[in-house]
Structure 1
């Protein structure tokens, strides 16, 4: 589904990623873990075309997307939910959702997608006509994810969905991701600092440290590796989340 080879990214003179190589399998949930400044957000932003790689190659669905503009990457089937969700507070919940499917010409399909999002995130249904700025933090995150799913992507890039949310809300969002993968085959690349929460729903995990890939293994193995957690995540995996 996604292959990254030798990816290096600079922000001016600062190197954010160095020679990162990884592979994401189709239909999987893959966690990208690491402390602040590890390069996690940069990784998602370069995949979605928001910033450019200094060197390396990104391939998705068998196609080289390294130099594609962000809108073409989105149309290819990759949706990106940035840290903080990024909803438009002045627009209503319904308007925010519809923005996610503007490029789809089939009106019936757009209407069906909207109904699916309301079924997936029931708290949004009674708030359709309310401004997004009136939503709680958890509802905003649901709205941001729902908007991205309106375009029926094949891959979802999700950046820190638990940021600032109560543990119960985070657990609900993680459960939705697990159900989506099971029901639709959606591939998810999940960036998280909450390692326990992310790995509990993931098949595989990568750990970044100062822009370099320092570990790659199945989620259960990473979850049990307390030494790795202490060295690169700044927290203990067991008993967190």
Structure 2
């Protein structure tokens, strides 16, 4: 589904990504791992159009999307949940969800989609009329993911979905991601600081270090690679 070739990204004079090659298969979960500053978030920002690539190419379903902006990419089936559980706190839970599906101009989906998100994330239904600012950190993360899913993406980019969450809540979110992949064939590219969590759910994993790819293999093989675990994953 996704093919990244020679991707270079910069913040002013600082090069954050160096010639990154990456392939994500349809219906798979691919984890992007590495320490802070490895370039994981920059990679997702480049793929979602928030950061213009300096060089290289990105292809989605064999279509070049390298120069597309975020709005175009949403229409093409890419949704991005950035780090930080960004929701509109002044809006209610239901309003945030409906906002995620508005661009589709499909009133039937706005009804059935919201119901589907409440089925996936039961705590949100109990708070559907509450403003997002009243939610816990875990509930905000559920809402951020649900709002992205309301655009009915083919590819979901997730940046640190378990960051700062209680282990039980993080496990619930991981279980939901597994379920989504199994039921819908959704493709996920997952950035995670917690390598153990990411490798337990992913089919494949890529390891970045200071903006360079240092490993790319099946998740189970990387989990068993002592050299990679000690050098880059703190496992």
Q: TM-score, normalised by structure 2?
A: 0.99
Question: Matches of 1:106 and 1:21 in 2, distance apart?
Answer: 36
Partner of 2:68: 68
Partner of 2:169: 169
Partner of 1:22: 22
Question: Matches of 1:228 and 1:126 in 2, distance apart?
Answer: 43
What count of residue pairs does the alignment treat as equivalent? 235
Partner of 1:77: 77
Q: Which deviations, in whole Å up to 9, do the C-alpha atoms of 1:6-25 show, x marking residues without a partner?
A: 00111111110000001000
CA RMSD of aligned residues (A): 0.7
Equivalent residues in 2 for 1:90-239 (5 A)? 90-233=90-233, 235-236=234-235
Question: Matches of 1:82 and 1:226 in 2, distance apart?
Answer: 30
Question: Matches of 1:14 and 1:104 in 2, distance apart?
Answer: 37
Q: Which deviations, in whole Å up to 9, do the C-alpha atoms of 1:174-232 show, x marking residues without a partner?
A: 11000100000000000001000011011000000000000001010111122212211
SS at match of 1:100: helix
Q: Which runs of 5+ in 2 are unaligned?
A: none
Question: Matches of 1:26 and 1:144 in 2, distance apart?
Answer: 23
Q: Which runs of 5+ in 1 are unaligned?
A: 237-241
Q: Which deviations, in whole Å up to 9, do the C-alpha atoms of 1:114-142 show, x marking residues without a partner?
A: 11000000000010110101000000000
Runs of 4+ more than 3 Å apart: none
Partner of 1:239: none
Q: Which deviations, in whole Å up to 9, do the C-alpha atoms of 1:28-76 show, x marking residues without a partner?
A: 0000000000000000001000011110000011110000111001110
